[in-house]
A and B are shown apart, each in its own frame.
Chain A
Amino acid sequence: MATIVDGFEGELKELREVFNSGKTREASWRRSQLQGILSLFKERESDIMEALNQDLGKHNVEAYRDEIGIVIKSANYALGNLKKWMSSKRAKLPLASFPSSAKLVPEPLGVVLIISSWNFPFGLSFEPTIGAIAAGNAVILKPSELAPTCSSVLANTIRDYLDNSAIKVVEGGHHVGEYLLRHKFDKIFFTGGARVGEIVMTAAAKFLTPVTLELGGKCPALVDFISSSWDKKIAIKRIIWGKYGVCGGQACIGIDYILTQKKFAPTLVELLQKYIKKSFGDNPMYSHSMTRIINKKHFTRLKGLLEEPGVKSSIVYGGKSDEENLFIEPTILVDPPLDSSIMTEEIFGPLLPIITVERIEDSVEFIRARPKPLAIYGFTSNEKLQKKMISETSSGSITFNDSIVQYAVDTLPFGGVGGSGFGRYHGKYSFENFSHQKAVMMRGYLIDFGFRYPPWNNKKLQLLKSGLRYDYITLVFVKLGLKGKA
């Protein structure tokens, strides 16, 4: 069934015309839109929090911590750095090219398509949009239909606060997504799963549209033996937050599974149980500190993971679920079979497998044998182990002794590698992601090297050799006839 989105072609045409008019290139326009985003988040905060609560059961404070606060921070950062990012940068030229100058001039790509995901519907829509706007593009945003209230609030608030002639929201399901992909864009920025990522890239290939794919993966956390009780407490809290505390485990950089030494596993499980109770109470569903599962399909999927042979018996804590409320309580498993789905697919939910190894160093090989994830976590103060992890594994990012927080650092690039995607953003990387850095060279007529042009002879060959080697002395000698052919 082919979907046509009413009036879309006209809207796309309008966006192109607006872009071609040059309006979005003006620094003042970009600033006004970034300010508009700030106003949107400050004035409509309660609508946003209400929508997140409605679609995901996210508590207000979690919503602020993971989405609202982040967008405000990023918009401020972009405003503060916009002038710098927009300015040309001088490039170095060899003396041989004197008198010339060269610079890199950033320019917008044009009309960009941003497709965001349902787990952080506001954060994952606005963070790339901030980059696209800062870079001077016109934007079409396609939020996920799996968070419908959020999608609607997004569409309404953007209409109220941003320039509708240059920034538009198109709501709908995957049919709408497919329809959009049949059109030509100057860049596509996609956050989501690998399967759809492949569809996006294949569609983009028809137009040679560059893409950024922010995918996921199984982000492992290596937990080393921790002796100090203070350290243990902090580490456990950070692990719990990284697994259960951020959208109930439905996060691309959430901890997927843990690797730990056999000897330490019982201590780890005990600590986890203790702090899960502290953080979420005896009845996590009513604590309002953990979001619910997004929909029935994912709920059933997650339940299914626990029902596979050998997996159910590996549950050591939790495992209960409430279908009516789409809630699954924090669950811990120890050594489920490695070929079970829970250990081969991205979990994206509050189920935490703990895989035990003889020596903690064996974890590195375990991680290496699997697709490159978006993030790797290492809870260890052992510098040698840290070095080994850094040099022997590959991932979008690697964080020691904490989880998730790398997301909030404006100066760190955020993106995947291998199966977790390619391209990156955040901070200036967002600006660059949506820009083309045009190389500009300015030459003059004062000096013109005859040896660039035919008719050819050996002397010219000599001069070219020296020229390209930046061997200025030989250049001068040959020119003066003081050096013959080699």
Chain B
Amino acid sequence: MIDDLEMRRSVEELRLTFKSGKTRSGDWRKAQLRAILRLIQENEDTLFRLLQSELGKHPVESYRDEIGVVKKSADHALTYIDQWMSPKKGRLPLVFFPASRKVLSEPLGLVLIIGSWNFPISLILDPLIGAISAGNTVVLKPSELAPNCASFLANILPSYLDPKAIKVIEGGIDVSNQLLQYKWDKIFFTGSTKAGKIVMAAAAMNLTPVTLELGGKCPVIFDCLPNSDLKVAAKRVASGKWGGCAGQACIGVDYVIVEQKFASTLIEQLKKTIKIFYGDDVKNLKNFSKIINKGHFDRLRSYLEDPAVANSIVYGGSFDDTSLIIEPTILLDPPLDAAIMNEEIFGPLLPVITMDKIEESIEFINSKPKPLALYAFTKNENFKKRILAETSSGSVTFNDTMVQFVCDDLPFGGVGQSGFGRYHGKYSFDTFSHEKAVLERSFYLELEPRHPPWSTFKLEFLRSAYDYNYVRMLLLLLGLKRPSNP
């Protein structure tokens, strides 16, 4: 049991650091960002080892999905931070003359970032980059389900980052609950829908703004494609399903919808792709992550306990209890009311749902909560338009999977049950900032009609003012126009 007093004192220190104004300086922020880059660079091999042992991630996968992403984000922030920090000036309507206005970003103060276990490094460091760029002090709470990564972060961060401004607090649910009782200026949470509700309810007690990056069942609409594109499309679907932490990814492909007549073609191609990517011996799969723990392993196995679901398996289905590996599995039309079709799978089981016509997929998707990502493999421009206009999701990607994650110019976040708020690139900076409106007026001119005592003239003047009818305002002021109202 973590000592509450000790933790509070630790967190209070961060508040004092923020008050001192240290974190507001551009130099301090850039120094921290460079330190993150050094951290990643100098500890790359250690990180590879950790992610391999904790999650079974191959170093290349770790680089592609975590280390490379953090590097890119830190570089991007360093390049643009001066621009982000500078005030945005703008014009004012003439009626306010003389005045000037600007919008200035300022840090929120002390923020809490709660990370998830599937990308234990990037889901902590990527938001951290945003929080630091915006000038805040930060408490990081990595997931206890990836304890070695959490420990690593707790031990290594103080040697690179300012320990009086950025702290890592390790622990399980009890520690999270304790932290949620404190007053924060912002909470950034990545995790499940269920935990998201707890976080938001706790934040409500202090009216703390939150960003919730949740999940959902991210569907793939797979239209009929010519053979020349089928191979690439299948690679991208396979990569989006099994390539990101073995399906344990919030934007990972959850299930596929395909036309009845095309289903077997797609499934055959997927099988071929799986064999190339991972091999087909469950005890010897290559380049494939494991399930994070026994709890999730059993949860995934339980999806297949329903005989109707088990009967729909057309590929894979083997489980290895010792290594916690589940082989890439494809199911064809499991019952739509089974758990596997109503909960976020978060694992390497891929239901393929068939329809008579692919357009029916839109209605199907709309019958479920809005997902974080929607993928559609189609070249039909009309169909693309319909998908965009008739469905809602955090993002939509046509003819690929997952790649939207690495584009710094695209906001990353959910809608509906997949969450709210967003980050990446400038959006990370914004999510941890308050944009303050600044209006400077002077005493030279005064529009008397603002003030009582009231008269018909003043009413007329105000009418013209809100219409920005400067001619009429001038005429009224010069006495050249009489107020028309009785």
Contacts and interface: CB of A to CB of B under 8 A. Distances in A.
B71 A289 contact: no
Contacts of A452: 64, 239
Range for the number of chain B residues in contact with chain A? 35 or more
B407 A91 contact: yes
Contact of B442 (A107, A204, A401, A468): A401
A310 B286 CA distance: 78
A399 B395 contact: no
A104 B440 CA distance: 33
Nearest to A426: B437
Interface in A448-476: 448, 452-457, 460-461, 464-465, 468-469
Given A69-B465, A208-B419, A468-B68, A417 B410 contact: no
B325 to A, nearest CB: 15
B104 interface: yes
B287 interface: yes
Contact of B437 (A197, A406, A445): A406
Given A198-B207, A234-B446, A453 B399 contact: no
Interface string A100-130: 1010110101100000000000000000000
A386 interface: yes
A91 B205 CA distance: 37
B452 A411 contact: no
Contacts of A444: 399
Contacts of A205: 197, 200-201, 203-204
B398 A105 contact: no
B459 interface: yes
Contact of B420 (A94, A210, A280): A210
B61 interface: yes
Interface stretch (A162-170, A318-326, A434-442): A434-442
Contacts of A288: 454
Nearest to B448: A237
Interface stretch (A54-62, A138-146, A332-340, A344-352): A54-62
A382 to B, nearest CB: 12
A413 B437 contact: yes
A173 B442 CA distance: 43
A402 interface: yes
B250 interface: no
Interface residues of A, number: 107
Contact of A445 (B60, B61, B233, B450): B233
A406 B92 CA distance: 11
B296 interface: no
B108 interface: yes
Given A208-B212, A400-B441, A439 B411 contact: yes
Q: Is the interface of B mostly helix, strand, loop or mixed?
A: mixed
Contacts of B201: 202, 205-206
A62 B277 contact: no
Interface stretch (B113-121, B332-340, B341-349, B386-394): B386-394
A440 B412 CA distance: 11
Contacts of A410: 93
Contacts of A62: 452, 454
Contacts of A465: 63, 68
Contact of A460 (B60, B109, B410): B60
A213 interface: yes
A456 B60 contact: yes
B396 A441 contact: yes
Contact of B438 (A65, A202, A398): A398
Interface stretch (A6-14, A257-265, A388-396): A388-396
Interface of B: 21, 24, 58-61, 63-64, 68-69, 71-72, 75, 90-93, 96, 99, 101, 103-104, 106, 108-109, 185, 193, 196-197, 200-201, 203-205, 207, 209, 212, 214, 228-229, 232-233, 235, 239, 243, 276-278, 286-288, 366, 384, 388-390, 392-400, 403-404, 406-412, 415-417, 419-422, 434-443, 446, 450-455, 458-459, 462-463, 465-468
15 contacts: A60-B454, A69-B462, A100-B403, A201-B200, A208-B214, A215-B207, A237-B446, A391-B24, A392-B21, A402-B439, A413-B103, A441-B410, A443-B398, A455-B287, A468-B64
Given A186-B416, A454-B277, A454-B286, 20 more contacts: A25-B389, A69-B466, A92-B409, A100-B400, A205-B204, A208-B212, A208-B416, A234-B443, A279-B453, A412-B437, A424-B435, A440-B388, A441-B395, A441-B397, A441-B404, A443-B398, A445-B229, A452-B239, A456-B58, A460-B60
